[in-house]
Chain A
Amino acid sequence: MPARTDEARGTFELANAYQLDDRVAIRPEPFGALAYHYGNRRLVFLRAPELVELVRILADHPSAEAAMAAAGIPDRRRAAFGRALASLEAAEVIRAR
């Protein structure tokens, strides 16, 4: 893995392409899922089933926005999911590709 620089953080853009980090495992839970990063050993709670699905399919779509459309996330909730993805990028759960 290339080292991440500080500038790489806080750069989430809906128009960019992302994927689940290779070092992250996802475990389904009643509330959504747990994501565990084997590199930084952080446990992150994904607290909505739609977010779990979104994270899983990010790699199959040309942009985060397109992945949201494919996951059937309604327009009014996209800003909230965008913020969630931004925090997941900061936690290195997802990364730009």
Chain B
Amino acid sequence: MPAERGASRSLATEMKAGLDAPICLTWEMTYGCNLACVHCLSSSGRRDPAELTTAEARAVIDELARIQVFYVNIGGGEPTIRPDFFSLVEYAVGHGVGVKFSTNGTRITPDRARYLAGLDYVDVQISIDGATAATNDLIRGDGSYAAARQAMDHLAAAGFGAFKISVVVTRHNVAELDGLESLAAAYGAQLRLTRLRPSGRGADSWAYLHPTAEQQRRLYRWLLERPHVLTGDSFFHLSALGEALPGLNLCGAGRVVCLIDPVGDVYACPFVLHPEFRAGSVRDPGGFGRIWRESELFTGLRSPTSAGACSTCGSFDACQGGCMAAKFFTGIPLDGPDPECVFGHGELALAGVAPGSAPAPGPGHSRPSPVSVRLGRRA
């Protein structure tokens, strides 16, 4: 049958060979952020002087519309810090490119919430990393939980509808999953859980924040019982535990996913900000479309890969060797096991990584010292 199921080539096989344009494009619009989360995948803090101008950002949107990227996931940094942020959102939506943006909520005032409620094709995703201020603020900074909850209150009061609550699963918040589910239900919001990667500042915090093996098994069962919880396909390494989680269950980097960073550099996914995974710049001749279609990096990622060290494991088809970014930034070879391999192969591989040999994260924009949300933004 031609639609969706039963064709001779599986959908996952089609996806591995790549699409004519990404399905899931993340666009980080600024490295500026008024928080300093310890796991920030992009080491955000200070704006970069080379960030795309308004005109350049509009040109990117024009191109995305032309190649029919139906929606973009906008993040940062804190994207609302860009003075032209909301005008760019309107420009995108007006050109048929829907927007979901991630925010820490600190700048979602009652007025902005009402404004957002009036826009079509805009989704808002508020980040928290725990169901309690104590758990959340350890990761995201003092006052960040209260600020996020206030933004949720404003969106609810404005009648925005089902916004998303996005949580990075850590060792400390696994115990609060039920609480997070209740919180989302109370707001009529959708809960989204994603995997902690050792990217950006996460390289320094991953070792003590990533869930334990037992917590991963609990998370897997919890997710299996809740197919309505969104995951961005990010826990496919857990599918080796048995029944596959909903989703494509493959690494989408360069195949269905990619990242445009604030200065216009295009990377294979949001978690690999490193020169090795930089495919080009939207400022290059041919722009984004040419990078997506022709870059050596992306075409390489679409070619068949070897199972490498995992070839003797009966679960390779289920987990696909796991997350490229997680391997890369922990110093494990890309054809080695995921550092959080559910069978413990990752722990063995990690033990074999020479101290200090893991690649350093790419462009960093951290502030010199951690900031508190109450202190506001440095000039």
Binding site for B on A (CB under 8 A): 25, 27-32, 34, 36, 38, 41, 43-48, 50-51, 80-81, 83-84, 87-88
Contacts and interface: CB of A to CB of B under 8 A. Distances in A.
Given A27-B21, A38-B121, A51 B2 contact: yes
The 9 closest A-B pairs by CB, nearest first: A48-B2, A84-B3, A36-B70, A27-B68, A51-B2, A31-B14, A84-B2, A80-B1, A47-B7
A29 B17 CA distance: 11
A30 B20 contact: yes
Contact of A27 (B4, B14, B70): B70
B207 interface: no
Contacts of B9: 31
B4 A45 contact: yes
Contact of B11 (A45, A48, A84, A88): A45
A46 B14 CA distance: 12
Contact of A83 (B1, B19, B20): B1
Majority secondary structure of chain A interface residues (helix, strand, loop or mixed): mixed
A47 B3 contact: yes
Question: Among the interface residues B2, B4, B70, which one has the most CB atoms of the partner chain A within 10 A?
Answer: B2
A29 B19 contact: yes
B98 interface: yes
Given A38-B98, A84-B2, 18 more contacts: A29-B14, A29-B19, A30-B20, A34-B19, A34-B23, A41-B98, A41-B121, A41-B123, A46-B3, A47-B2, A47-B4, A47-B11, A50-B2, A51-B2, A81-B2, A83-B1, A84-B1, A88-B3
B287 interface: no
30 contacts: A25-B68, A27-B20, A27-B68, A29-B14, A30-B17, A30-B19, A30-B20, A31-B14, A34-B23, A36-B70, A38-B96, A38-B98, A38-B121, A41-B71, A41-B98, A41-B123, A43-B70, A44-B3, A44-B4, A45-B3, A45-B11, A46-B2, A47-B2, A50-B2, A80-B2, A81-B2, A83-B1, A84-B2, A87-B3, A88-B3
B2 A30 contact: no
A22 to B, nearest CB: 13
Given A25-B70, A25-B96, A30-B14, A43 B23 contact: yes
Majority secondary structure of chain B interface residues (helix, strand, loop or mixed): loop
Question: Among the interface residues B1, B3, B11, which one has the most CB atoms of the partner chain A within 10 A?
Answer: B3
Nearest to A28: B20
A40 to B, nearest CB: 11
Interface string B21-53: 101000000000000000000000000000000
Contacts of B121: 38, 41
Nearest to B2: A48
A9 to B, nearest CB: 16
A43 B121 CA distance: 14
A75 to B, nearest CB: 16
B301 to A, nearest CB: 16
Contacts of B4: 44-45, 47, 87
B211 to A, nearest CB: 29
A25 B71 CA distance: 12
B34 to A, nearest CB: 29
A46 B2 CA distance: 7
Nearest to A54: B2
A45 B339 CA distance: 33
Interface in B56-99: 68, 70-71, 96, 98
A6 to B, nearest CB: 20
Nearest to B1: A80
Contacts of A50: 2
Contacts of A34: 19, 23, 70
Contacts of A47: 2-4, 7, 11, 14
A57 to B, nearest CB: 15
Nearest to A73: B2
Nearest to B21: A27
